Every structure is written in structure tokens, then in C-alpha cells.
């Protein structure tokens, strides 16, 4: 319904009058029923032709105009209350309902005008025209009542149950928005946790690499110590060989000295030989004892080195097992 926009310039708020809500349904019942009653009286007066009835209908039109003006103002108060709770379609329906109500208020003046014409002219065409306008007016009133019922029953205008449901819907929508916001925040936190987990994994991998490199270094140190022990083993053997060579040299030198010296007699020579032999034996025994002592020292040192190697290998294995266990447990705890 595309009607040109009009308005009623009268505002009750300018006179300090504030109407309560929910008066519109009470006034509307009179606004719908009185024009129908007026039509029945006018049809009855066509047959009775009583002047008193025509005066009554004229006064009734004044009352209808007053009722329609009250319906407009009460509807305006209820519309302000219900407008925010209506859907977009309901709001458009309410605007059309208001505009048609303004036209009905002005049409009561037109109806009164044609009633006065029929009252004073007293011609059949004036009465017929008045009745046609009255029937059209009632048809528009019924249509307006239909739109008002749609506003109540379809769109829930000024219905407390609908308003409470809409309040619940709004509350649920707010909760949904809050849940979405919390989900977004939780998603951000999960992303941060994933980043932290990845960083911890990289740190664990680096620690694994470090622990894997430590046994290599320790094995290198063990190999160095084993090389040292082998060198220690070789050194005593070299020292014993050098002492044997020195002892042989001393024996040879002594033999040359004995040959070079003039022999006074055979007895002195024999005695000298015996003494040299005994000395050589004693020196050989001393050398052999020294060699045996060196061998014993070397063997004891090699045993100590082997024990150190075993202890170092055990310590390396324990460190590697501990590091592996720590790396296996860290991701699960995270």
C-alpha cells in the first residue's frame, strides 16, 4: 500500500499528557464496532425516517472521530514500545498501519461532512452517497483491524511472551558472541602452545645432538688415554732394552780392560775373571730385577687404565640413557 505520507500535528506530550502502554487494543474495539453500528442505524432509518435517529447518527460520527483520534495516540504509544522488538518486516507493517490510521482519522471528518450534507439536503442521492462512503470507511476500518491482528499474532507486537523470548534470543546471541570470542582466544592460545611445543622440540633435538656429541668426545678422550697407556707400555720396554744394552757395553768395556792390562800371574787373572763374572752376574741380576719391576709397574698401570676406560664407558652409557629418557618424557609433559 503506497500512500503519501501525512501526519497529525497534534502531540499530547506538548500538553504534558503521557498515555500508558496497552490501551490501544481497548480503544480499537470501539473504533471497529461503532462504524458497523452506525451503518445498521442508518439502514434502519431509511425505513423509519426518524429525525431523532439521524441526529443520533450525527452525534455517533463525532464520537467515532474522537475514538479514532484516541486509537491513533494509543497506537502511537504502543508502537514506540514495540518497534524495537519487531523484525524488519514487522517494522514496515507497523509503519503502514500507522499511516493508514492517520488516513482513517482524517476520513472521519469526510464522513461527518457527507452526513451533514445528507441531513440538510434531504435528497435520495445525498443519502446514497453518504451510505457508500460509510460502507467504504467500514471496509478500510476492517482492513486496518486485520493489519493490527497481524502485527500482534505474526510479529508479536506488545506481546510479553514474545518479548521475553526475544530477550532470551538476544541473551543467547550475546553468549554465542562471547563463545566465539573465547574460541578465538583459545585458538590463539593453542597456536602459541604449538609454537612453544615446536620450540621445545627443537631444543630437545639440540640437546640430543649435544648428548650424542659428548660421548664422542669422551670416547676420544678414552682413546687418547689408551694411546697414552700404550705409550707407557712401550716406554718401560724401551727402558729395559736400553739398560740391557748399557749392561752389555759395560761388560764389553770391562773385558777390554782386562785384556789390556798386563797379567802378573795366572792366579790374579783368574781371580779377576771370577770377580768380573760375579760382578757381571750381580749386575745382570740387578738389571733383570729392574726390568721385572718396570714390567710390573707397566702392567699395573695398564690395569688401572683399563679400569678407568670401563668406568668412563659406563658413565657415557648412563649419560646417554638419561638424556634419551629425558627427551622421551619432555613432549608428553608438554
* Spatial separation of the C-alpha atoms in residues 243 and 229, rounded to whole Å: 21
- pLDDT (average), residues 268-295: 67
* Spatial separation of the C-alpha atoms in residues 289 and 293, rounded to whole Å: 6
Query: Which pLDDT value is given to residue 220?
Result: 56
- pLDDT (average), residues 125-133: 94
Higher pLDDT pick, 287 / 330: 287
Checking if the pLDDT of 123 tops 50, the result is yes
Report the predicted TM-score, pTM, of the whole model to 2 decimal places: 0.51
How far is residue 82 CA from its own chain's centroid? 37
Question: What does the pLDDT look like over 238-253, one tens digit per residue?
Answer: 555 666 777 677 767 6
Checking if the pLDDT of 137 tops 70, the result is yes
Query: Which pLDDT value is given to residue 71?
Result: 94
Rg (CA), the chain: 64
Higher pLDDT pick, 290 / 326: 290
How far is residue 236 CA from its own chain's centroid? 76
Percent of the chain residues topping a pLDDT of 90: 29
Lookup: cell for 328: 622421551
CB 128 within 8 A of CB 71: no
Report which of 212, 218, 207 is spatially closest to residue 314, judged by C-alpha positions.
Answer: 218
Query: Which pLDDT value is given to residue 144?
Result: 94
Q: In b/e form, how buried is each residue of 197-218, taking b as 16+ CB within 10 angstroms?
A: eeeeeeebeeeeeebeeebeee
- Alpha-carbon torsion angle 307, 311, 317, 323, nearest 10: -160
Higher pLDDT pick, 122 / 279: 122
Lookup: cell for 301: 698401570
DSSP-assigned letter for residue 157: T
Checking if the pLDDT of 304 tops 50, the result is yes
CB 27 within 8 A of CB 67: yes
Question: What does the pLDDT look like over 67-116, one tens digit per residue?
Answer: 999 999 999 999 888 888 888 898 899 999 999 999 999 999 999 999 99
Report which of 300, 311, 306, 304 is spatially closest to residue 218, judged by C-alpha positions.
Answer: 311
Checking if the pLDDT of 180 tops 70, the result is yes
Checking if the pLDDT of 217 tops 60, the result is no
Checking if the pLDDT of 62 tops 60, the result is yes
Query: Which pLDDT value is given to residue 208?
Result: 72
Checking if the pLDDT of 301 tops 50, the result is yes
Helix ranges, the chain (H)? 24-48, 51-83, 88-121, 124-153, 160-260, 266-333
CB 244 within 8 A of CB 287: yes
Task: Please state, as a whole number, how many other Cβ atoms lie within 10 Å of the Cβ of residue 38.
Answer: 22
Question: What does the pLDDT look like over 189-212, one tens digit per residue?
Answer: 778 888 888 888 788 777 777 766
| Cβ contacts of 74 within 8 Å, gap of 6 or more | 19, 23, 24, 26, 27
Question: What does the pLDDT look like over 308-325, one tens digit per residue?
Answer: 888 888 887 887 777 666
Query: Which pLDDT value is given to residue 18?
Result: 85
- pLDDT (average), residues 121-142: 93
* Spatial separation of the C-alpha atoms in residues 221 and 215, rounded to whole Å: 10
Amino acid at each position: 500500500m503506497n500512500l503519501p505520507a501525512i501526519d497529525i500535528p497534534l502531540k499530547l506530550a506538548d500538553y504534558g499528557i503521557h498515555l500508558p502502554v496497552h490501551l490501544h487494543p481497548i480503544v480499537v474495539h470501539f473504533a471497529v464496532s461503532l462504524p458497523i453500528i452506525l451503518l445498521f442505524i442508518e439502514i434502519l432509518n431509511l425505513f423509519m425516517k426518524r429525525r431523532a435517529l439521524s441526529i443520533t447518527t450525527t452525534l455517533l460520527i463525532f464520537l467515532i472521530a474522537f475514538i479514532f483520534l484516541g486509537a491513533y495516540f494509543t497506537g502511537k504509544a504502543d508502537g514506540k514500545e514495540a518497534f524495537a522488538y519487531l523484525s524488519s518486516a514487522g517494522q514496515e507493517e507497523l509503519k503502514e498501519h500507522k499511516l493508514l490510521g492517520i488516513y482513517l482519522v482524517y476520513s472521519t471528518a469526510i464522513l461527518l461532512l457527507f452526513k451533514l450534507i445528507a441531513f440538510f439536503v434531504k435528497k435520495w442521492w445525498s443519502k446514497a452517497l453518504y451510505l457508500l462512503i460509510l460502507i467504504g470507511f467500514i471496509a478500510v476500518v476492517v482492513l486496518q483491524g486485520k493489519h493490527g491482528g497481524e502485527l500482534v499474532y505474526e510479529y508479536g507486537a506488545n506481546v510479553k511472551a514474545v518479548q521475553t523470548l526475544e530477550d532470551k534470543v538476544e541473551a543467547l546471541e550475546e553468549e554465542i558472541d562471547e563463545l566465539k570470542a573465547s574460541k578465538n582466544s583459545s585458538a590463539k592460545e593453542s597456536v602459541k602452545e604449538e609454537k612453544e611445543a615446536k620450540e621445545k622440540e627443537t631444543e630437545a633435538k639440540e640437546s640430543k645432538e649435544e648428548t650424542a656429541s659428548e660421548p664422542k668426545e669422551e670416547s676420544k678422550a678414552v682413546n687418547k688415554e689408551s694411546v697414552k697407556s700404550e705409550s707407557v707400555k712401550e716406554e718401560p720396554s724401551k727402558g729395559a732394552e736400553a739398560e740391557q744394552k748399557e749392561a752389555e757395553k759395560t761388560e764389553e768395556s770391562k773385558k777390554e780392560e782386562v785384556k789390556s792390562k798386563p797379567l802378573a800371574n795366572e792366579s790374579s787373572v783368574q781371580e779377576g775373571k771370577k770377580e768380573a763374572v760375579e760382578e757381571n752376574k750381580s749386575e745382570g741380576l740387578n738389571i733383570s730385577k729392574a726390568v721385572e719391576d718396570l714390567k710390573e709397574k707397566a702392567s699395573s698401570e695398564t690395569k688401572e687404565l683399563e679400569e678407568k676406560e670401563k668406568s668412563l664407558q659406563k658413565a657415557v652409557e648412563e649419560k646417554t640413557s638419561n638424556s634419551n629418557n629425558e627427551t622421551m618424557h619432555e613432549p608428553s609433559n608438554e
